[in-house]
Amino acid sequence: MTTEHDFITIKQKYSRRKERRRLEGLWWAVALIWAGLVFGADGMGLIPQIGDASAWSWIFLGAGMVGILGSFYRLTLSNVPNPTAWDWVWSGICLIIGLDGFVTLNIFWPIILILAGGIALVNGLWSRD
């Protein structure tokens, strides 16, 4: 038999899942707009050439930054779900893929370690039960 408490818990889980999907949709929308802007600027020759960076490097860099900044922002709000570990991981992967065109492999692994340590630190300091 389902109690009122169980019903509220199920309703809260559904509400959080719905909110997470909304936030994921926002990320995709911003990432697609960013990709369109980058491809448009690349087509007009407005993208600065830094190292071996291509338009795809700029797109992944922007998508990673949007994800990381969005996760930090979500940590400061109490009325939205905290970012999951996968939010940090996917944002970090996009950021690292984007940075690959700007930096050499010698600095690539230290950046990965710094990002992983920063993510662990942020999750430890701002985790809410």
Q: What is the pTM of this model?
A: 0.70
**CA–CA gap between residue 57 and residue 128 (Å, rounded):** 34
CA dist 116 to 3, 51, 96, Å? 42, 24, 11
Three-class SS state of 17:
helix
Single-letter residue type at 65: M
| pLDDT tens, residue by residue, 91-114 | 888 888 888 887 766 666 777 788
Q: Average of pLDDT values for 114-129?
A: 74
Structure token digits, residue 28: 């995709």
Three-class SS state of 129:
coil
| pLDDT tens, residue by residue, 26-76 | 889 999 999 999 999 999 999 888 878 899 999 999 999 999 998 888 888
**CA–CA gap between residue 49 and residue 47 (Å, rounded):** 6
